[in-house]
Structure 1
Amino acid sequence: MDLSTITKQSKKPYIIMAVVAVSIISMFFLSLNLGLIRIAPLDVLRTLSGMGSERDALVLFQFRLPRMVIALLIGAGLAVSGAILQSVSQNGLADPGILGINTGAGFAVVLFIYFFQGSLTGLGTLSIFIMPFFALLGASLAAFLIYTIAWKKGITPVRLILVGIGINAAFSAALIIFQLKMNPRDFMQATIWLAGSIWGTNWKFVLATLPWIVILLPITMYKARFLNVLNLGDQIATNLGTRVERERRILLFLSVALAGACVAVGGGIAFLGLIAPHIARRLVGPKHQFLVPCSALIGALLLLVADMIGRNILQPSEIPVGLVVAVLGAPYFIYLLIKTP
């Protein structure tokens, strides 16, 4: 292999990530144009530069922009959460939605709303910022139960998935119990949200989600080298000087915290954390220095496109973005399940 070939291979991940980033920007501007109220591309540019009409400014800055920014943040967070889970568990089928971590987070948020607020539509500013912490508690409880029950002289991929599906079902049943105690309006809203609906369409929800993503994603990228070592197996990782259990706990906490913060705003969006890391792995390879940021970019792109489809395909009604992702992700999950020995 000559030097030019090695150079091209070393540049390939950066080129791919640049292409995905350009695709995100393109879809972002396209999504700004589409909706119940169509805004021409030139009018979008005028409005963004401060020279548009009041109507266009209201639609873009108060409704579309915050929702699209949240879609990017949630997509990146769930994708990286899935990438961590797949690497730590060495299970290509791991995903925070499938394993029940998202449902645990959703259960905690519904409990918070039920006991402290009493209305899904009456969330105050302080409550918006508190919800991610409750989601983190619920996600942590789900993760603890999964690993405790699945552990039997180690964790096998199939056992992890089966236990995760069981925990998911248990939390889903508990959710239904509390939903039945809600008034009919809140019951419907909770059902739509838990199906994966970006319901926080204002800048307060952006500010509530942004710190979690901005802080946790760089930490995960810094920890990427430990993900590489853990993939070699516990014995080899220990021989290389890695404190395996300590690093595994830190990485699991990062995954659970990312999933919980995303569920607090986006509901139970399943399969995104499964699909994005697999696509990224095919594009940039298994090195987590590239896999983690590429997964974040692909997750952001997928959720942005899914949200755009959900908002426009059945106007004036909307399809929850989680259902759009599930339509794409469920067949891929079945395909991976069949391939897994």
Structure 2
Amino acid sequence: MALTKPSVTTPTATATARTGTASNTAAASTADGSTAAAFTATGSSATGSAATASEPPAPPPAAAGSRSSAAAVPAALVLLVAALAVVDITQGTAAVGAGQVWKALTGHADPADASVVIASRLPRAAAGILVGIALGAAGAALQAVSRNVLAAPDTLAVNAGSYAALGVLTVTGTSLPLLASSGVAFAGGLAAAAVVLALSGLGAGTVRLVLAGSALALGLGSVTDTLLLLYPERTNGLYQWSQGSISQNGFDGVAQMAPVALVGLVGLLLVSRRVDALSLGDDAARGLGVPVRGTRVTVVVLATLLAAAAVTLAGPIGFVGLCAPALVRPLGRRVRGLVRARAALPVAGLVGAALVLGSDVLLRASVGADSAVAVPTGVITSVVGAVFLVVMALRTRDTAASAAPDRLRMPGRAAFTGTVVVLTALLVALAIAAVLLGDTTLLLGDVLNWARGRGDHLVTFVLDTRVPRVLAALLAGAALALAGTIVQAVTRNPLADPGVLGVSGGAGLGAVLLVTTVPAAGAWSVAGAAFAGAALTAALVFGLAARGGFQQNRLVLVGIGASAGTAALISLLIVLTDPFNATKALTWLSGSTYGRTLPDVLPVAAVLAVGTVVAVVRRRELDLLSFDDDTARLLGLRLAPARLGLLALSVLLSATAVAAAGTIGFVGLVAPHAARALVGRRHIRVTPVAMLLGATLVCAADLLGRTVIAPSQLGAGLMTAVIGAPYFLYLLTRTRA
């Protein structure tokens, strides 16, 4: 689509364009510092005839060299993709090497070898190329139109929305052709992207958009995981597919999705000149006659179409749309022709194809063909993408506040006492209900007889299994709330939470690693492994964030990257050790208390007791750290040791909570916020109220998960994510302006 000139005289238009370009240089440099210069130097029709007339009739030698370099880059990438495809075709469980592949392609192979090559390996390589091109081009388009280097189908929740829509379609038993399924995925992805863009404000902050997308993706992922647990027969194989697998059975899927991806890519190329104009800034683009809002909507729709085609064909393969443009960006600083969207989009697509095929080749070369069959390609791209996200978070500046500070409230002692009494009564009533209700309903007398050792066989069996579950939920909720309270105070970050910061994910990774390698490990061993994983993750996250002074957005974004990486590694461990038991992975990741015994809750009980005493004794330090550094220094507080000790305590609390009840998210975010809203900011009051709220929230979630759809069960983590994700988004919208 050609870029329309302004309907004014040429000198005026040129002056307007130059003024707009100068005033928006900083905005354009957010996406790529050389975009404005390249756009002006190309002498496109959008700059007006005066600018064109002032240029020499023949391009200088540097420009000619730039054009040759711009052509050499795609050619080199095509060769790289072709080489990776050849290697990928020769890998597999069947003994079919390069010679047999060549014979199959030329029609001289054994029928069995030809069947393997034509029905499996060639479609797998073709799917990898198609998915990589679609995701790479979609990510490049989203980053260009938003001037946001962190925009991608993953970070805008497009993949999560598409996957959730397909999950709903699967459990309803609706059978649709692949092309119609792609339409459902497109609708889900577009709806998710629209929500994220509406909540974050396109261009309102580099990190804000990613935070909104990540929170919505977590919420949608919880809903989809709930469907997988509720309908295991209908969703058989959907968990492995949800990690992103390019394995195919014939060319039917590739043949049907290729035209969809082609429409999206061609559409982006047609509006590429308008995308270039947007890189100069909104004012300059309007001065050039570009419909800013319409162009953004068009690009988002086309990018979502590409992402939906990729998700329909291979599942949500993570972070390719983020990594591919990031790899192209340094090339754009050296090869001027790659700055323009018309060249950058196909190049990003080729880089995406190389990433997907390279990940598949690396996977099969590392773990062997037999094991690689069970490991989705998306697990590898997610690990690589998580590293990319952390690195880019450290290099990205975002001056927008992530959430409004809490209002300074000083409720009286009577209000605090009343709040504690009400919450305590509510928690006691909820705990009693949790003990009595379930797949078997009991009476209070049954519990009393059981406590005295006089219960019958059935009552004894039920309470021996149910009471530890209730205790695990109560203690884990209180521990996560206390950990969240400490982290938010130390980092002065209202978005901090052990789950959001990746600490819970690290604890889960350590625990799963021990359980899968040493199935007979005891409760204290699992707690120790969880603490080791949480400590390593926390050291990484807090260490990297401390380099910038614990900036709010940087800390949370690094934590999101760590959380994504640990989740991918947990999935990898599960599918490698027990590939046919996806329920085990989902049960653990959903925060279930199923099968807990009294020894399992002893570590979290001991750590919670110590943590409560420390938090009360050091309440003044928490108050000072949550205020500012200067005041704390003036009052003689040694900041580094205080921060380190309190963060270590929060890590220990999170690790033992994960060991007792699995990964439960958002409790450490919601409970401290609600506590401060009820009783003010003083930690002598916030701490007990937050712990009561955390215990109440997790116990209620566990009770609902056990009773609402009994005999089926849902993990408490899924329930808290459904509550916590909207609250996280609410915190972001409070300061959208």
TM-score relative to the length of structure 1: 0.91
Cα deviation for residue 51 of structure 1 reads 4.8
Residue 436 of structure 2 is matched in structure 1 by 33
Cα distance in 1, alignment partners of residues 451 and 548 from structure 2:
57
Cα distance in 2, alignment partners of residues 57 and 178 from structure 1:
36
Cα distance in 2, alignment partners of residues 321 and 113 from structure 1:
20
Cα distance in 2, alignment partners of residues 129 and 51 from structure 1:
31
Residue 129 of structure 1 is matched in structure 2 by 524
Task: For residue 714 of structure 2, give the secondary structure of its aligned residue in structure 1.
Answer: coil
Question: CA, structure 1 residues 136+10, in 2 after alignment: closer, same or farther (shift >3 Å)?
Answer: same
Residue 574 of structure 2 is matched in structure 1 by 179
Cα deviation for residue 337 of structure 1 reads 1.9
Cα deviation for residue 40 of structure 1 reads 2.8
Which residues of 2 match residues 134-153 of structure 1 at below 5 A? 134-153=529-548
Q: 2:462 aligns with which of 52, 55, 59?
A: 59
Cα distance in 1, alignment partners of residues 444 and 702 from structure 2:
19
Q: Does structure 1 residue 315 correspond to structure 2 residue 710?
A: yes
Residue 637 of structure 2 is matched in structure 1 by 242
Residue 418 of structure 2 is matched in structure 1 by 15
Q: Deviations over 1:99-118 (max 9, x none)?
A: 11000111111111233x1x
Q: Does structure 1 residue 263 correspond to structure 2 residue 665?
A: no
Q: Deviations over 1:22-42 (max 9, x none)?
A: 111111111222111111344
Contact in 2 for aligned 1:270/1:326 (Cα 8 Å): yes
Cα distance in 1, alignment partners of residues 580 and 700 from structure 2:
29
Contact in 1 for aligned 2:465/2:595 (Cα 8 Å): no
Cα distance in 2, alignment partners of residues 236 and 200 from structure 1:
48
Task: For residue 94 of structure 1, give the secondary structure of its aligned residue in structure 2.
Answer: coil
Q: Deviations over 1:142-176 (max 9, x none)?
A: 11111222234412111111111111111112222
Query: Structure 2: which amino acid aligns with 1:160?
Result: L
Cα deviation for residue 316 of structure 1 reads 0.5
Residue 489 of structure 2 is matched in structure 1 by 87
Cα deviation for residue 14 of structure 1 reads 2.1
Task: For residue 596 of structure 2, give the secondary structure of its aligned residue in structure 1.
Answer: coil
Residue 500 of structure 2 is matched in structure 1 by 98
Residue 247 of structure 2 is matched in structure 1 by none
Residue 670 of structure 2 is matched in structure 1 by 275
Contact in 2 for aligned 1:193/1:199 (Cα 8 Å): no
Contact in 1 for aligned 2:492/2:627 (Cα 8 Å): no
Question: CA, structure 1 residues 246+319, in 2 after alignment: closer, same or farther (shift >3 Å)?
Answer: same
Which residues of 2 match residues 157-306 of structure 1 at below 5 A? 157-184=552-579, 187-306=582-701
Cα deviation for residue 57 of structure 1 reads 2.7
Cα deviation for residue 181 of structure 1 reads 0.6
Query: Structure 1: which amino acid aligns with 2:624?
Result: V
Residue 5 of structure 1 is matched in structure 2 by none
Decide which moves more: 45-54 or 214-223.
45-54
Query: Structure 1: which amino acid aligns with 2:669?
Result: L
Q: Does structure 1 residue 325 correspond to structure 2 residue 725?
A: no
Cα deviation for residue 178 of structure 1 reads 1.4
- Moved >6 Å (runs of 4+): none
Residue 511 of structure 2 is matched in structure 1 by 109
Task: For residue 473 of structure 2, give the secondary structure of its aligned residue in structure 1.
Answer: helix
Paired residues in the alignment total 327
Residue 475 of structure 2 is matched in structure 1 by 73
Decide which moves more: 191-200 or 158-167.
191-200
Question: CA, structure 1 residues 49+283, in 2 after alignment: closer, same or farther (shift >3 Å)?
Answer: farther
Cα distance in 2, alignment partners of residues 30 and 14 from structure 1:
24
Query: Structure 1: which amino acid aligns with 2:550?
Result: I
Cα distance in 2, alignment partners of residues 319 and 18 from structure 1:
30
Query: Structure 2: which amino acid aligns with 1:26?
Result: A
Cα deviation for residue 138 of structure 1 reads 0.9
Cα deviation for residue 133 of structure 1 reads 1.4
Query: Structure 2: which amino acid aligns with 1:55?
Result: L
Cα distance in 2, alignment partners of residues 232 and 216 from structure 1:
21
Cα deviation for residue 186 of structure 1 reads 5.2
Contact in 2 for aligned 1:104/1:171 (Cα 8 Å): yes
Cα distance in 1, alignment partners of residues 506 and 588 from structure 2:
14
Q: Deviations over 1:77-101 (max 9, x none)?
A: 0000001111111111100001110
Cα deviation for residue 323 of structure 1 reads 0.3
Q: Deviations over 1:7-55 (max 9, x none)?
A: x812321221121111111111112221111113444444445554332
Cα distance in 1, alignment partners of residues 503 and 548 from structure 2:
23
Contact in 2 for aligned 1:275/1:332 (Cα 8 Å): yes
Cα distance in 2, alignment partners of residues 319 and 187 from structure 1:
15
Q: Percent identity?
A: 36
Cα deviation for residue 187 of structure 1 reads 4.4
Query: Structure 2: which amino acid aligns with 1:24?
Result: L
Cα distance in 2, alignment partners of residues 114 and 307 from structure 1:
25
Cα distance in 2, alignment partners of residues 88 and 181 from structure 1:
38
Q: 2:730 aligns with which of 329, 335, 339?
A: 335
Contact in 1 for aligned 2:487/2:496 (Cα 8 Å): yes
Query: Structure 1: which amino acid aligns with 2:611?
Result: L
Task: For residue 440 of structure 2, give the secondary structure of its aligned residue in structure 1.
Answer: coil
Cα distance in 1, alignment partners of residues 569 and 579 from structure 2:
18
Contact in 2 for aligned 1:199/1:265 (Cα 8 Å): no
Cα deviation for residue 219 of structure 1 reads 1.3
Cα distance in 2, alignment partners of residues 301 and 153 from structure 1:
36
Cα distance in 2, alignment partners of residues 329 and 269 from structure 1:
10
Cα distance in 2, alignment partners of residues 275 and 320 from structure 1:
18
Query: Structure 1: which amino acid aligns with 2:531?
Result: L
Query: Structure 2: which amino acid aligns with 1:67?
Result: R
TM-score relative to the length of structure 2: 0.43
Q: Deviations over 1:205-228 (max 9, x none)?
A: 122332121222211221111000
Decide which moves more: 201-210 or 256-265.
201-210
